[in-house]
Structure 1
Amino acid sequence: MTTPDRAPTRRTLLVLMVPLMLVLFLANLDQTIVAAALPTIGRDLDSASGASWVVTAYLLTSAITTLILGKLGDMYGRKRVFQFSIAVFLAGSLLCGLAPGIGALIAFRALQGIGGGGLNSLVQAITGDLVPARRRAAWQALTGVVATLALVAGPLLGGAFAEGLSWRWIFWINLPIGVAALLTVAAKLHLPRPTAARGRVDYAGAALVAALTTAALLVTTWGGTTYSWTSPVVLGLLAATVLALFAYVRAERRAAEPLTPPRLFRSAVFDLAGLQFFLATLVLFVGMLHVPMFLETVQHTTAFTAGLYVIPLLLGLVAAAMISGPLIARTGRYKVYPVLGSLLTGGAMLWLAQWDAATGPFGLITPLVVAGAGLGLFVQVSLLAGQNAAAYADLGAATGTLNFFKSFGGAVGAALFGAILTHALAHGTALAAFHTVFLWTLPFMGAALLAALAMREKPLSEEMREVAAGEVEVREY
């Protein structure tokens, strides 16, 4: 991709950055806005057991298309691919709001995720195209602020819409903002086209990883609940998972530009970082989705009030990541943080398993802040350690691969623990069912602790110190 001959003026840059920030806000908002409304959606569509897949479908498709759309932007021009991503995201949003049943809603959320996968990475890349290097840090800091505000605002808006209007407005709210951004981008954003198509897109790898992750998710959610472990359906899915895994590994070894370069996985540090990212996000989504459900089901709060209680979890996460980043940049040491994070999160989730109908605000908020802080330490270190283990030439691919583990962890957390809750509700009270859900996070935090202890601390490179300090952003492809 070539760069503009001259940097845009401050006024022009502001006109362009506003729609980019709006798109970034929507992309991050959709990761959390559904959380507080899931119980309402489940009741309205008469499918409480399938509601968690509304989250899972979006995370799965967006994880895969992030890498594909980023590469297509490099090859064919970021403006066109960005417009395509916005259009697909808006089409999915419109259809989600019109969905007549849970199956249609899940399908339309998958469509929305296809577009959503390109928004974050392309906003970052276009910002790099527009803003000169000397002014880039300030704008990149702004993107971080916008993303954080969207994550925190999501539960509030989701609860407010579900309670005051309709859960369908959770998706329709994207339309006026997204259309305005799309029109502004079409009229005002002028980026040079690539002089020649560069590289190849690993479509085979993308298709195989989609088949692999979907089959694996269905095994974990259907096995022992919807179907017995020895049923033809579950055994068939297990066989499909194994076959897809072998085919994916073979395809990535033969691909000219693989989606996840096999050489990345030769580093034990990278492997353990990916595992920690997966486990941390899995537990994060358990908290984000099941805390509002607990409050609405057991304490009979409104959807809006339930959404408020997701905010302490997210604030704890953001604060821990912001504090640990500069400390890591200054000392170059990071191994202690995921060890501490696993202990904090595990203890907090054990506290959540003691909640009951009479637990007050202090007893609700305190463990959520602690859990968020513990997960924030994981998120920061997993990304840095994994990036630091990769060669500089592989930094973009490493970042994209790690973020795929993050998204897949969220998808597994939503689907697997939704199945655990459904099974527990069929065999006991609602209170006991939520206790079961929160307690089942402990083995995953135990695995995260073992991974943290086993990970060798490799000295941070100078580039990674700058990333940790928030001075440099790394593109995801």
Structure 2
Amino acid sequence: MPVETSPTDAPPGAAPSSRAMMILMVPLMLVLFISNLDQTIVATALPSIGKDLNDLSGSSWIVTAYLLTSAVTTLIFGKLGDMYGRKKIFQFSIAVFLIGSLLCGMAGNLTLLIFFRALQGIGGGGLNSLVMAITGDLVPARQRAKYQAVTGMVATLALIAGPLLGGLFSDALSWRWIFFINLPIGVIAFLAVGARLHLPRPKSTTGRVDILGGLLATVFTTAVLLFTTWGGNDHPWTSGIILGLIALSVISLIVYILVERRAAEPITPLHLFRSSIFNLASAQFLIATLVLFVGMLYVPMFLQTVQHKSAFTAGLFVIPLLVGLVAAAMISGPFITKTGRYKIYPVVGSVLTGVSMWFLSLADQDTGALGLIVPLLFAGAGIGFFVQVALLAGQNAVDYKDLGVATGALNFFKSLGGAFGGALFGAILASSLASTTPSVAHSVDAFQTVFFWTVPFMALAFVLSLAMKEKPLSEEMMQVAEGKVDVPEY
């Protein structure tokens, strides 16, 4: 039986005592909180940041840059932790995240802020996955469910608190405190991890990290984001820079596929995409997250720009969206594990979200609070059905030995959806605002256009949901869904 005075006193292979585990969980939860907080805390502050730095149209890239780099490093840092020890890589991730946070808070223009957010995302990408992996190192599989429930609660709390804290800091202090708040929390966690966390040494350092694949994936997605957002707005479609970005997208994709085919341990194994179910689940995950980030980013901006709400008040309206998402995922999960059936949920979810976003596209300067809260709540619920099923169906489509890497790939597409949502709809908003004379009515039209263009995406998601075959859940996946078995690490 492990001694309770220190986690490091436990016999090799034994789990820390409950008291010792809670001591270890505090810094892990602090890190998990700030890494999830930074996905949403910027949303309500974008108008304040854009106004202060004299560039509102490009402010969505503050979110996009973070999502883009964190999507890639989530997979890479997970592998580095396997090879060189999770504690070292975890502390490195915290340090990069904090340096990025400090530089973001000091940025003097939008270009520097976007660059530093990308740096922050490099560190942030490793934090979530490494917290889960470290918890798996410390706790036997049969006890992990209760700790995973705690991590899920902390992540959800951070996502909901983000818009509120972002608005509060923008109104009462400065948007720069959105980033400075990470420093004391992160430093405490860094020191606590260094002093208290002791993990088994990695068995081998002979594995290979697909860094080239990660870099190529970043180049490809960045090039696609740039030419889709700049084309027809900042630069003509026939301009040299747009044609060059299109060429770079095609070339980097071809090279990426060739590299992944030959990589010993590819970042996204190509054999996963032989399954049509996995392909459709990946597309659904991307589309659902894309629409989610449109709501999270542009509803607060609409409220501040059109209805002249404070940043804090605007942040309150993101809560129904997130509450609907969490509630739908919690409701559908037990039904799926009980019946083994899941196809109906994305079908219903696409209709629910599409109709809700259409109602949202009718909002104007006179729309009351209830007229926004109700469609946001149902839009979140529809997205919650998607998120729950896309992950489960994608995992169920592959062999159990590929479950870890499939989960990593699905989360990669989820992050890309958020990045595309922020960038693409930011371009739609900028184009709509630039094409008309500035006024309240024209601002309303611009935001209505943004919300309306989510509807075709949900129509596509509806078609994909109908096309997806419902493969019966395997016994392993039933146990994963019920929390009895963990997803293998990647």
Give the TM-score range, shorter chain.
over 0.9
Contact conserved, 2:141 with 2:485, CA < 8 A, in 1?
no
Mapping of residues 42-81 of structure 1, within 5 Å: 42-81=50-89
Match of 1:326 in 2: 334
Residue 4 of structure 1 deviates from its aligned partner by: 4.0
- CA, structure 1 residues 470+288, in 2 after alignment: closer, same or farther (shift >3 Å)? farther
Residue 5 of structure 1 deviates from its aligned partner by: 2.7
Return the letter of the residue paired with 2:471.
Answer: K
Return the letter of the residue paired with 2:59.
Answer: A
Structure 1: unaligned runs, 5 residues or longer: none
Match of 2:183 in 1: 175
Return the letter of the residue paired with 2:52.
Answer: D
> Which SS does the other structure have where 2:208 is aligned?
coil
- CA, structure 1 residues 4+420, in 2 after alignment: closer, same or farther (shift >3 Å)? farther
Contact conserved, 1:325 with 1:470, CA < 8 A, in 2?
no
Residue 136 of structure 1 deviates from its aligned partner by: 1.2
Return the letter of the residue paired with 1:237.
Answer: L
Contact conserved, 2:341 with 2:470, CA < 8 A, in 1?
yes
Residue 377 of structure 1 deviates from its aligned partner by: 0.3
Contact conserved, 2:348 with 2:382, CA < 8 A, in 1?
yes
Match of 1:365 in 2: 373
Residue 475 of structure 1 deviates from its aligned partner by: 5.4
- CA deviation profile, 1:165-215 (whole Å, cap 9, x unmatched): 000000010010100000000001011111321421011111110110000
Structure 2: unaligned runs, 5 residues or longer: 1-10, 437-441
Match of 1:425 in 2: 433
Contact conserved, 1:88 with 1:111, CA < 8 A, in 2?
yes
User: In 2, distance between residues paired with 1:388 and 1:134?
Assistant: 21
Among 284, 289, 298, the residue aligned to 2:292: 284
Mapping of residues 236-315 of structure 1, within 5 Å: 236-315=244-323
Contact conserved, 2:346 with 2:385, CA < 8 A, in 1?
yes
Return the letter of the residue paired with 2:470.
Answer: E
- CA deviation profile, 1:121-153 (whole Å, cap 9, x unmatched): 000000011112222110011111111101100
Residue 426 of structure 1 deviates from its aligned partner by: 1.3
Return the letter of the residue paired with 1:32.
Answer: T
Match of 1:435 in 2: 448
Contact conserved, 1:294 with 1:434, CA < 8 A, in 2?
yes
Contact conserved, 1:273 with 1:385, CA < 8 A, in 2?
yes
Residue 14 of structure 1 deviates from its aligned partner by: 1.2
Residue 470 of structure 1 deviates from its aligned partner by: 4.0
User: In 1, distance between residues paired with 2:329 and 2:117?
Assistant: 29
Among 32, 43, 59, the residue aligned to 1:24: 32
1:212 aligned onto 2:220: yes
TM-score by length of 1: 0.98
Residue 467 of structure 1 deviates from its aligned partner by: 2.8
Mapping of residues 357-436 of structure 1, within 5 Å: 357-428=365-436, 429-436=442-449
Return the letter of the residue paired with 1:118.
Answer: G
Match of 1:102 in 2: 110
User: In 1, distance between residues paired with 2:422 and 2:12?
Assistant: 43
User: In 2, distance between residues paired with 1:302 and 1:470?
Assistant: 41
Mapping of residues 83-94 of structure 1, within 5 Å: 83-94=91-102
Return the letter of the residue paired with 1:194.
Answer: P
Contact conserved, 1:209 with 1:248, CA < 8 A, in 2?
yes
1:335 aligned onto 2:348: no
User: In 1, distance between residues paired with 2:301 and 2:169?
Assistant: 16
Residue 341 of structure 1 deviates from its aligned partner by: 0.5
1:464 aligned onto 2:472: no
Residue 296 of structure 1 deviates from its aligned partner by: 0.4
- CA deviation profile, 1:382-408 (whole Å, cap 9, x unmatched): 000000001111111100100010000
User: In 2, distance between residues paired with 1:166 and 1:190?
Assistant: 38
Residue 417 of structure 1 deviates from its aligned partner by: 0.4
Residue 13 of structure 1 deviates from its aligned partner by: 1.1
Residue 238 of structure 1 deviates from its aligned partner by: 0.5
Residue 476 of structure 1 deviates from its aligned partner by: 6.0
User: In 2, distance between residues paired with 1:152 and 1:369?
Assistant: 13
Return the letter of the residue paired with 1:268.
Answer: S
> Which SS does the other structure have where 1:463 is aligned?
helix
User: In 2, distance between residues paired with 1:398 and 1:367?
Assistant: 33
TM-score by length of 2: 0.96
User: In 2, distance between residues paired with 1:131 and 1:460?
Assistant: 27
Match of 1:115 in 2: 123
Among 142, 145, 148, the residue aligned to 1:137: 145
Percent of aligned pairs sharing the same letter: 68
Among 229, 233, 236, the residue aligned to 1:228: 236
The CA RMSD over aligned residues, in Å, is: 1.1
1:445 aligned onto 2:453: no
Return the letter of the residue paired with 1:57.
Answer: A
- CA, structure 1 residues 245+8, in 2 after alignment: closer, same or farther (shift >3 Å)? same
User: In 2, distance between residues paired with 1:443 and 1:357?
Assistant: 24
Q: How many residues align?
A: 475
Match of 2:7 in 1: none
Match of 2:5 in 1: none
> Which SS does the other structure have where 2:290 is aligned?
helix
> Which SS does the other structure have where 2:237 is aligned?
coil
> Which SS does the other structure have where 1:457 is aligned?
coil
